[in-house]
Amino acid sequence: MSHKFRLRLKQGELLIAPMVTLSCPETAEILSEVGYDWLFLDAEHSTYSAADLQAIIGRVGHKLPCLVRLAAPDEVQIKKALDIGADGIIAPQVNSPELAEKIVSWSRYSPVGTRGVGLGRAHGYGFSFDDYLASANENTTVVVQAEHIDAVNSIEQIVEVPGVDAVLIGPYDLSASLKRIGEIDHPEVTGAIQHVTDVCKNSNIPLGIFGVTVDAVKPYIDKGFTLITAGVDTVMLGQAARRMLGQLK
């Protein structure tokens, strides 16, 4: 990893990515030429296997940073994502400081963490093992998602966990946890988001958000959010095709 993504995040740089869900590496390769700052590889809601992720990162990881949203916030998922060369992980459904502590620990090698030691693509299959170990703890980005009311209620403690580099808000799952699924503009949902925003800003923790459209994410950029995921590969493909067909008929 040589992109210094974690440093750029901590310095407050605006970092914009699309969400990539299609398993063909060509999709990520096309998006890597657009000018994005990073790619959000979604292993939670896609059909990605570890082999799919490795093929994608192997194709585009030298061009721009790739962060993997885990299928689940557990140790094995973290080991697999990092061993194949991801620049960092995005852990879903982190609803307590105890889980945040585990996620950070699983993402860092000893003596500061408990990440398992293996020989994978990230380590040059063994040829660059020492070099990777020397820099991995410093360069690996750990993002936790606040996407449940339990996370909102525990956010003061979550942001105090050493090694949490950013908090990414999931507005849709958050709305569902409030029994207002999809109502992301409802005052209960926006109020919860504002609470997370205030706490993270007070603790100098970078904030992230996901939105399908420019209009969905632009207000958050204006509020100082810097880790931005805008659009989904499948939606962008479908909308572009529909727009062209509409212009022809």
Closest C-alpha among 155, 249, 243, 237 to residue 202: 155
The least confident of 8-17, 85-94, 101-110, 181-190 is 181-190
Read off the amino acid at residue 86.
A
Write the pLDDT tens digit of every residue in 14-45: 999 999 999 999 999 999 999 999 999 999 99
Give the span between the Cα atoms of 29 and 186, in whole angstroms. Answer: 37
Return the percent helix, strand and coil in the chain, to nearest 5: 50, 15, 35
Structure tokens at 138: 């410093």
Q: Is the pLDDT of residue 1 over 60?
A: no
pLDDT digits (tens, 9 = 90+) for 180-195: 998 989 999 999 999 9
Q: How far apart are CA 177 and CA 42, in angstroms?
A: 21
Q: Which among 242, 226, 246, 249 has a CA at the least distance from the CA of 38?
A: 226
Residue 2 has pLDDT above 80, yes or no: no
104-116: average pLDDT:
97
Before 206, cis peptide (omega within 30)?
A: no
- Check residue 148 and report its DSSP letter: S
* Predicted local confidence at residue 97, as pLDDT: 98
Which of 84, 88, 75, 143 lies closest to 115 in space, CA to CA? 75
Catalytic residues: 45
As a whole number of angstroms, the distance between CA 229 and CA 19 comes to 6
How far is Cα 54 from Cα 70, in angstroms, rounded to an integer? 14
